[in-house]
Amino acid sequence: MEGRKLMSGKMVSTGTIQVDKLLEKLGQPGRYHVFIYILICMTYWIVIFNHVIMAVYGRPPPHHCTLPKGNFVNRSIPLEKGKPSSCKVYENFTQVYGNETVPTQGCSDGWTYTLEPGETNFVADFDLVCDNKPLVSLATTIYFCGVMLGGLIFGTLSDLIGRKPVFLITLFVPVAIGVGIFFVQSYVAFVVLRFFVGVCMQGLQTSGLVLILEMFRPVHRTKAGLITELFWGSGVLIVGVLQCFIKDWHYIQLAIALPPVLAIGYIWIIPESPRWLIQKKKFKLAEQFFIKVANFNKTDITSSISDEFAAVHKKEDGSSVTHYTILDMFKTPKLRKRTFLLFYIWLSIAVNYYGMLYGISALPGNYCLNFLIGGFVEVPAYIATIFLVECFGRKKILLLFFFVGGVTCIAVRLVPSVTGYGLDISWLPLVLALIGRASSAGSFAVIPLFTSELYPTVIRNIGVGTCAFWTRLGGVLFSPILLLSDYTFRAFPFVLFGVMALLAGLLTLLLPETLNKKLPEVIEDAENFGKQANDKSSIPEEAENETSDDTRL
């Protein structure tokens, strides 16, 4: 299989050009790779800003029904759990005496909100409370529908016109859309613009990660893919800082929309993927890329690069192209079983991660501080995961994350705030939520690597890309699930998240471990993978696995 690279469901010959060997000669990973890697990883912040910002926008401020002049809250609004109702008012204020039961009605005159000086609130601006509360969830769902559509559009487009054009388009177009959101005066306009931001965010994430992974040799791609998660976690932390210090949601919107303006130099700095150039037979541009990198890294191999490409210009490789499709994921019994298991596991991870992230608003304590701490715990979780998967394997670590995450998720809304002995343990739900959050974040980091190693080389990108679709579906589903707490019982969404995680852990037991195993190359290898005692890896670095080009929602 040497000299061949999977792209868009095809095994494409790279002729006599051995890309990984050239990359190795460049001092891989050299200074140029690290430089470009950091620049692209910084765009992950833009993606995570937009993915989680509705957790900030969607938080309702204290509110109650607007009352006619001369009426007081304690005389006009019924109590619910010892506090004035947010959504009801007595029908006839003048008839409220003592303990009499008086009919109530909805807020026909609108709502009065309690805001800090200088604060504006998205929910208050559009009156998304009481009967309108589901519209907050709908805005989140529609955004992630855009993300789902973006995965379908830009995955194909990046294969057709290149990774760099898609990367730049989806980096800069959302600036204009994001500024437009700053000026919106209606909920419908907000939702429509957010939908198109979602479309672009998936294109930005996918094309950026592909650019990263296709610049590295296989031996470095595992760590390169996992380290990107650190930028993801730190992005959540940045959103937490923004919402703690900026009280006007319009200016938070500008803060997450404008950063790409500072990246205008990316137009000239970010390169096209050398593998895509070679696949499309743009050998002159590919040669220029390698020479540029060699000069930047101060490695004296310019002549060998020129010789390598000169040979290709004289005689282009005429080997045939073998086509593979999504149907090949279901071709054999074991591969088919693993595919269905992975579909559910990816869905479960996405629902749990976003459910825990957005659900933190329902926990006791200061929301700003809770959100900030939640972002903080993700960073060490990702760092630990990088080392744990290499020491204990992918399967064991996933099992650990699913078990811990599932148990804490179920417990988070079931534990009482005060014990039977009167001891205040109101801090415990937050601690459990943070442990669950760290576990779901770790699962999100492990599953792309694990999945890419389970599929054979010939359908690896197809397999992981198709599985990643289920994370986008999870992004669409988690918000309506959180809303079910208003129609069932308070703990229902978290219990459901926990049960899904525990079930995913049980299903993981049915998958083989991949650590230090020779990875399958063809479909027959995948069918036999995991049942042979002698499949310990003895392959060189160049034959190691490729990490997914589409790892997270």
Cα distances from 151 to residues 60, 145, 195, 201, 466, in angstroms, run: 31, 10, 13, 9, 10
Query: Pseudo-torsion of CA 491, 427, 230, 469, nearest 10°?
Result: 0
CA distances 279 to 87, 207, 276, 283, 286, Å, are 61, 16, 5, 9, 10
In CATH, which superfamily holds the domain spanning 324-553? MFS general substrate transporter like domains (1.20.1250.20)
Q: Please report the pLDDT score of residue 371 as a whole number.
A: 83
DSSP code, position 513? P
- Confidence (pTM): 0.84
Structural contact between residues 85 and 79, judged by C-beta atoms closer than 8 angstroms:
yes
CATH classification (class only), 1-57+123-315: mainly alpha
Q: Residue 353 has what DSSP assignment?
A: H
Q: How far is 418 from 30, CA to CA, in rounded Å?
A: 56
Helix or strand or coil: residue 435? helix
Beta-bridge partners for 211: none
CA separation for the pair 342, 325 (Å, rounded): 18
- Taking Cα atoms as reference points, which of 160, 163, 500, 526 lies closest to residue 347? 500
For 450, the token pair is 């694990």
What residues have CB less than 8 Å from 485, skipping those under 6 apart?
362, 491, 492, 493
What DSSP designation does 272 have? P
Q: Which residues contact 372 (CB under 8 A, 6 or more apart)?
A: 237, 240, 241, 244
Cα-Cα-Cα-Cα dihedral sign, residues 63, 64, 65, 68: negative
Angle among Cα 401, 404, 407 to the nearest 5 degrees reads 135
CA distance from start to end of the chain: 31
Distance CA 401, CA 438 (A): 8
* Continuous segment of H or E residues that includes residue 456: none
> For residues 227 and 248, what is the distance between their CA atoms, to the nearest angstrom?
33
Tell me the torsion sign for CA atoms 526, 529, 531, 532.
Answer: positive
Enumerate the CATH 1.20.1250.20 domain ranges in the chain, comma separated. 1-57+123-315, 324-553
Identify the pLDDT of residue 138.
94
The DSSP element (H or E) to which 226 belongs, if any, is helix 218-245
Encoded tokens for 68: 């006619």
Q: Compute CA distances 138 → 52, 104, 145, 369, whole Å.
A: 14, 28, 10, 26
What number of residues does the chain have?
A: 553
pLDDT at 201: 93
Distance CA 273, CA 286 (A): 8
pLDDT tens for the 553 residues of the chain, in order: 333 333 333 333 444 456 667 777 776 677 888 899 999 999 999 999 999 999 899 888 888 888 877 666 667 778 777 778 888 888 765 555 555 567 777 788 888 898 888 889 999 999 999 989 999 999 999 999 999 888 878 877 887 888 899 999 999 999 999 999 999 999 999 999 999 999 999 889 888 888 887 777 767 777 777 788 888 888 989 998 999 899 999 999 999 999 999 999 999 999 998 888 887 888 888 888 888 888 887 777 666 666 666 666 555 545 555 677 788 888 888 999 999 999 999 999 999 988 888 877 666 667 888 888 888 888 888 888 888 988 898 899 999 999 999 999 898 888 877 766 767 777 788 888 889 889 998 998 888 888 888 888 677 777 777 888 888 898 888 888 888 887 887 788 889 999 999 999 999 999 998 887 877 877 888 888 776 544 554 444 444 444 444 445 4
Half-sphere CA count of 140, side-chain side, radius 13 A: 30
- Whether the CA torsion 139, 141, 144, 145 is positive or negative: it is negative
Q: Which helix (H) or strand (E) holds 548?
A: none
- Rounded CA-CA distance 404/151 in Å is 31
**Rounded Cα gap, residues 13 and 305, in angstroms:** 18
Sequence-ordered strand ranges (E) for 261-341: 322-323
| 3-class secondary structure, 288 | helix
